[in-house]
């Protein structure tokens, strides 16, 4: 779990054997890379921010209402680990690393 404000948060690679990731940020950009074999469900919510992911994720919800955006789905297999990111006034990126 991580709470961050007024910063940039970067993780190069979430390894295959990692567990849950939960990030809450304000006025901060969050950039996460993940191992292609890391199986996880994700739920990303932003207010006044953008969400960028690579095309390999299976997306089940893609909503944009006024200043709020939500993207959720999974990578590899549902029901494994959870990646939850909530961001206010910051951009979020989630990308696969080889």
Q: Average of pLDDT values for 74-96? A: 97
DSSP state, 57?
A: S
pLDDT confidence tier of residue 98, bands split at 50, 70 and 90: confident
Q: Which candidate, 53, 47, 45, 33, places its Cα nearest to that of 85?
A: 45
- pLDDT for the residue 36: 94
Q: What is the pTM of this model?
A: 0.94
Residue 33 and residue 41: Cα distance in Å, rounded?
15
Residue 9 and residue 92: Cα distance in Å, rounded?
10
Domain boundaries, the chain: 2-97
Task: Map tokens 């007024």 to a residue.
Answer: 6
24-79 pLDDT tens trace? 999 999 999 999 999 999 999 999 999 999 999 999 999 999 999 999 999 999 99
- Has residue 15 got a pLDDT over 90? yes
């Amino acid at each position: 779990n991580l709470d961050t404000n007024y910063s940039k948060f970067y993780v190069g690679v979430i390894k295959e054997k990692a567990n849950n990731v939960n990030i809450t940020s304000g006025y901060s950009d969050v950039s996460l890379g993940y191992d292609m074999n890391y199986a996880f469900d994700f739920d990303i919510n932003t207010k006044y921010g953008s969400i960028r992911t690579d095309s390999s994720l299976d997306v089940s919800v893609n909503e944009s209402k006024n200043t709020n955006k939500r993207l959720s789905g999974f990578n590899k297999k549902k029901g494994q680990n959870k990646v939850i990111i909530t961001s206010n006034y910051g951009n979020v990126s989630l990308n696969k690393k080889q």
